[in-house]
């Protein structure tokens, strides 16, 4: 098997490890009234265990479709997506998705939303585990609130806790902070990095925001559209925490901006 770099959060050292996700020559075609529409074409990449990968690109380049294939919600038209050596054909507990849209149950409290998917524990164990993850995302005082009673940023914290409590191996995140204001978005990015450093999940994070990609990622895949393809790969070799005003941070932003505006071949 091809080896891939394993990135250890909080450390500069890189270790060799097999990829946990492999995408090879993947294409996705949808049938429309005007004929077939190719959304993804010949997409190829790997993701190492514990890596934070961002997929960056404009609207309509197939980012969400790619995530849906990795989640098992869509099947590729050609090529393959593998979880280790197993083809991804359906969703599974090893992968959890965080969407941009609010997916909380409006009739359940914050605590009840977080605990919803937890199975196989006693009531006491479930309560203690729920309280632990409630505390991890800084929402202990709001456990008995309903979703309509908390802010958008707080709802995102609940969404994070709701997937983390299930202890998935991989987090698939589809522009989860895109609807938040700039300050709240940065706070959520910082929280996500803190939780990633603690749990060492593998993360595939979809975004159209250049600053967000540089702030978060070990590696960034830049996608082009019509059809969706990977145009460039950039590894971000900046220590964490990253300061957005530093020239090295801005250099990565400029490189990504140029990659996004580069004419398609």
Query: What pLDDT, in 10s, does the model give residues 32-62?
Result: 888 899 999 999 999 999 999 999 999 999 9
Say what the pLDDT of residue 34 is: 87
Asked if residue 9 has pLDDT above 80, the reply is no
Distances (CA, A) of 166 to 72, 100, 201, 253: 18, 19, 12, 34
Residues in CB range of 100: below 8 A, 6 or more apart:
174, 175, 176, 178, 179
Provide the residue ranges of all domains of the chain, joining segments of one domain with +.
Answer: 25-94+170-235, 104-167
Q: What is the mean pLDDT of residues 88-93?
A: 94
Q: What is the mean pLDDT of residues 221-238?
A: 95
Asked if residue 14 has pLDDT above 70, the reply is no
Please give the Cα distance from 158 to 107 (Å, whole number): 14
Closest CA to 62 of 76, 82, 50: 76
Q: Which residues pair with 232 in a beta bridge?
A: 222
Say what the pLDDT of residue 265 is: 53
Closest CA to 81 of 93, 64, 66, 61: 66
Say what the pLDDT of residue 263 is: 60
Q: Calculate the CA dihedral of residues 36, 39, 42, 48 and round it to 10 degrees.
A: -150
Please give the Cα distance from 109 to 119 (Å, whole number): 18
Say what the pLDDT of residue 259 is: 93
Please give the Cα distance from 97 to 162 (Å, whole number): 10
Mean of all residue pLDDT scores within the chain: 91
Asked if residue 93 has pLDDT above 60, the reply is yes
Q: For residue range 96-146, list pLDDT tens digits in order.
A: 999 998 899 999 999 999 999 999 899 999 999 999 999 999 999 999 999
DSSP string, 207-255: ES-HHHHHHH-SEEEEEETTTBEEEEEEE----SSPPTTSHHHHHHHHH
**What tokens appear for 265 in the block?**
């071949």
**Contact 6/48 with Cβ under 8 angstroms?**
yes
Closest CA to 209 of 10, 92, 58: 58
**Contact 207/180 with Cβ under 8 angstroms?**
no
What is the pTM assigned to this prediction? 0.91
CATH (one of 1.10.10.10, 3.40.50.300, 3.40.50.880, 3.40.50.620) for 25-94+170-235:
3.40.50.300
Asked if residue 243 has pLDDT above 90, the reply is yes
Q: For residue range 57-78, list pLDDT tens digits in order.
A: 999 999 999 999 999 999 999 9
**Contact 148/158 with Cβ under 8 angstroms?**
no
Q: In 46-200, which ranges are continuous DSSP H helix?
A: 63-71, 110-115, 123-136, 152-164, 182-199
Residue 103: φ, ψ to 5°: -115, 15
Say what the pLDDT of residue 159 is: 96
Q: What is the mean pLDDT of residues 191-215?
A: 96
Say what the pLDDT of residue 116 is: 94
Asked if residue 214 has pLDDT above 80, the reply is yes
């Amino acid at each position: 098997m091809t080896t891939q770099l394993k990135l250890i959060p909080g450390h500069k050292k890189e270790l060799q490890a097999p990829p946990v996700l492999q995408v090879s020559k993947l294409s996705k075609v949808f049938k429309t009234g005007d004929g077939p529409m190719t959304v993804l074409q010949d997409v190829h990449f790997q993701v190492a265990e514990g890596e934070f990968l961002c997929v960056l690109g404009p609207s309509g380049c197939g980012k969400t479709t790619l995530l849906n294939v990795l989640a098992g919600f869509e099947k590729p038209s050609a090529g393959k997506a593998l979880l280790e050596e197993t083809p991804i054909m359906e969703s599974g507990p090893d992968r959890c998705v965080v969407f941009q849209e609010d997916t909380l149950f409006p009739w359940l409290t914050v605590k009840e939303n977080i605990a919803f998917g937890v199975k196989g524990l006693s009531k006491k164990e479930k309560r203690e585990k729920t309280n632990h993850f409630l505390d991890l995302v800084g929402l202990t005082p709001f456990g008995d609130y309903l979703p309509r009673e908390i802010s958008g940023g707080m709802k995102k914290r609940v969404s994070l806790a709701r997937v983390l409590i299930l202890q998935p191996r991989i987090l698939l995140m589809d522009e989860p902070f895109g609807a938040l204001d700039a300050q709240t978005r940065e706070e959520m990015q910082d929280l996500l990095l803190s939780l990633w450093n603690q749990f060492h999940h593998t993360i595939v994070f979809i975004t159209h925001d250049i600053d967000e990609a540089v702030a978060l990622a070990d590696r960034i895949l830049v996608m082009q559209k019509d059809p969706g393809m990977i145009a460039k790969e950039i590894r971000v070799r900046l220590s964490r925490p990253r300061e957005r005003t530093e020239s090295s941070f801005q250099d990565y932003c400029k490189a990504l901006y140029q990659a996004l505006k580069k004419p398609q071949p």
